Structure 1
Amino acid sequence: MSSTEMIGVDASGSERPMRPCSGAGIGCGQVDDHPRHVLDDGTEDPPQYHLDCHAAAGCAHCREQLAGAEGATGAALLDHLAGPGASAAPADTTSED
């Protein structure tokens, strides 16, 4: 089983990078600053997917992250991932899947 790490950002999300949802024909290709599941494949530019794109491809981790936030994207998804009363939202999840 792979390890998963949550990477924090400030609550406003103002420092979030713009990047594509890409890799292995799963990603939608949209460029935005929404949360991603970044797969640590040892390369300099690892695949990174929107959580909903990767969940649709069968990723159990992404389905778990999205539970209760169906349809949420961007700031609304960051709020869901941070949970009630959190001071900072997680930016992405990284795993060695």
Structure 2
Amino acid sequence: MAEQRNCVGCGQVDDHPRDVVALADGSTAYYHHDCHARLDPPCESCAWLVQHKGDLVGHEWRTQIGNVHNALTPEQLAAAHPSEKPVVEQFLNGQGV
């Protein structure tokens, strides 16, 4: 089972996949992809992921993120600066990849 974490957006604590955000003070904030996609302005990489999510949650969503990540070519993985890549290329269940 994945680590239990809070979501800054909704306050829930669970093991669902998260986007990890480094804050200016050096701390870290975690957002469910759905919650981060609903910000104004939205997180573009989370919005992209949510478009491909359907009804998946928890373990099924974590598995799908892994499948998408594994399907990317090395060229796709290297295409953009790390801070510009979709979440799926930066994090897998809140862990740096």
TM-score bracket, shorter-length normalisation: 0.5 to 0.7
Unaligned 5+ residue runs, structure 2? 71-90
2:6 is the counterpart of 1:20: yes
Following superposition, the deviation at residue 28 of structure 1 comes to 0.5
Could you state the TM-score of these two structures normalised by the residue count of structure 2?
0.62
Q: How many residues align?
A: 73
Q: How does 1:72-83 map to 2 (within 5 A)?
A: 72-83=56-67
The 2-side partners of 1:78 and 1:90 are apart by: 7
Could you state the TM-score of these two structures normalised by the residue count of structure 1?
0.62
- Relative to total residues, which structure has the larger strand share, 1 or 2? 1
RMSD: 2.3
The 1-side partners of 2:33 and 2:26 are apart by: 21
Comparing both chains, which one has the higher relative contact order based on Cα–Cα distances under 8 Å and sequence gaps of 6 or more? Answer: 1
Deviation beyond 3 Å, 4+ runs, structure 1: 42-45
- Alignment-derived partner of residue 44 in structure 2: 60
Deviation per CA, 1:48-84: give whole Å up to 9, x if none.
1000011111111101122321232101111210116
Unaligned 5+ residue runs, structure 1? 1-13
- Alignment-derived partner of residue 30 in structure 2: 48
SS at match of 1:78: helix
